[in-house]
Amino acid sequence: MTHIYHQLPRRHKQLLITVCVITGLLFLLPSEDAKASKISGGEDSLAIATRYEVRMPQQMNDGEVGSAINLAQPTPANTATKLRTTHSKDSLVTVNNDQAIDLEPADKLTWQQVKVKSGDNLALIFSRAGFSATTLHRITSLGKATASLKKIMPGQIIHFGANAKKQLIKLTYQQDFINRLEIVKTDTGYQASQFTAQLETREKMASAVISSNFWNAGIEAGIEASLIMNLANIFGWDIDFALDIRKGDQFNIIYESKFLDGVEVKTGNILAAEFINQGQSYQAIRHTDGEYYSATGRSMRKAFLRTPVKFNYISSNFNPRRKHPVTGKIRAHNGIDYAAKRGTPVMAAGSGTVIASAYSKYNGNYVFIKHGEKYLTKYLHLTKKYVKKGAKVKQGQRIGTVGSTGRVTGAHLHYEFLVNGSHRNPRTVKLPKSQSLAKKQKAAFLSIANNRMAQLATNKRIMLASNE
């Protein structure tokens, strides 16, 4: 191009330069006169330090989009989407570049409740409520905070609160009468909170005389099933509640009752109890360690359980000259047969070491446990064994289940108790004495025990007076 320019006549060069200059000036001139103005009043003026609502394009009608003020800058493809959160009186708004999520307060949400059906899981429940699997995943990803949701039971109710866009904003789940789980959507995601109602504890008394059986007497006294079972467990080392209970036996207890807003909702611990069985009186007082002790400070928990299984009846007693039900021959029955449903748990009568866990033609599946140098217990005809030879077991630990393996006529547990190698009747053998409280604790305990015994005596007098 330079070579051609130099070959042009001088007049042509001057004309070309003039055209280029004029064209350049035209590009530099604005299409309209630019004016700067300062508005000092009127309807269109903007006040300093005042927030104005800017309507986003997706919130406007078609005719208004053209006049919208575009505040957002294009987001580069390699840049993470940024969120801008603003708080106002009515709602919390999280603005994404292409989406707005309204986090409205609970009183502005649309609520629905979903009752848990048999066979339901969280996926089915959320789907029935109209929420996606993604929402469910975000909630369950909170971990332990929402673990209770995975333990939902038929009949329970989950409440869902959604905004106008059908987004889940709040979930509430009443686990029981005192525990409630709440999950709320915030500008940073879902957050879970656990609420526990404060219960008022009061002491109550109950007493009864047994006319038919222990269970019915407890129900007639107005106490819950769990409390009846706890009472049996407390005295279970001294009294066989399946065989030793007689008409005229009586019990007398002081226990905790829990109240919520003045309404009794549940029972707590037994604080003190007396049980009179066949004329023999047994007392138990709850200590600060959660264990029960006699009025003199000796533990109610013995070294051995009197019976290691919850049975229906005794099918064969301890009898050195029993006639065998299968062979018909006279053969010593060195234990007790507890008839029970197949699969009923069998517990270790005391803490010790498993010295045998095997199978034989006559014993079926069996377990032998050694308790120190003096005592040995045997458990025969098990369906399953849950311990192996050499294992250490604790009193009350499940070691197997009732069965009918070996030479037997029906499902039962054959239980033997040996002292220094000699068989003893498990029902009548004198069990090792329980431990007593340490001297440092005993003085304080005895003071409490005396007060509790006085309360029990007063309650007994009231019961006797009311029955006259």
- Please name each of the domains of the chain with its CATH number: 106-196 (3.10.450.350), 198-302+437-468 (3.10.450.350), 313-424 (2.70.70.10)
Mean predicted lDDT score pLDDT of the chain: 80
Among 225-229, 240-244, 296-300, 306-310, which stretch is predicted with the lowest mean pLDDT?
240-244
Contact, 399 vs 386, CB < 8 A? yes
| Predicted pLDDT of residue 306 | 85
Gap between the Cα atoms of 126 and 113, Å rounded: 11
Highest mean pLDDT among 296-305, 314-323, 324-333: 296-305
Query: What pLDDT, on a 0 to 100 scale, did the predictor assign at position 11?
Result: 67
Q: In 3-state terms, what secondary structure has residue 330?
A: strand
pLDDT, average across residues 317-336: 72
Of the candidates 183, 170, 195, the residue with the CA atom closest to the CA atom of residue 141: 183
Strand partners, 292: 286
* The predicted structure's pLDDT at residue 244: 86
Confidence at residue 28, expressed as pLDDT on a 0 to 100 scale: 62
Task: Say which residue the tokens 């493809």 belong to.
Answer: 77
Instruction: Report the Cα–Cα distance between both ends of the chain, in Å, rounded.
Output: 133
Which has more confidence, 32 or 67?
Answer: 32
- Please state the φ and ψ torsions of residue 460, each to the nearest 5 degrees: -65, -40
336-391: pLDDT as tens digits: 999 999 999 999 999 999 999 999 999 999 999 999 889 999 999 999 999 999 99
pLDDT at 464: 72
Residues 6+ apart with CB under 8 A from 378: 335, 366, 367, 368, 369, 414, 415, 416, 418
Cα separation of 124 and 133, whole Å? Answer: 10
Average pLDDT over residues 15-40: 58
- pLDDT of 130-180, one tens digit each? 999 999 999 999 988 888 898 899 999 999 999 999 999 999 999 888 889
Whether pLDDT at 62 is above 60: no
Burial class from Cβ neighbours inside 10 Å (0-12, 13-18, 19+) for residue 373 reads exposed
Judge whether residue 31 has pLDDT over 70.
no
Contact 238, 304 (CB under 8 A): no
The predicted model scores a pTM of 0.58
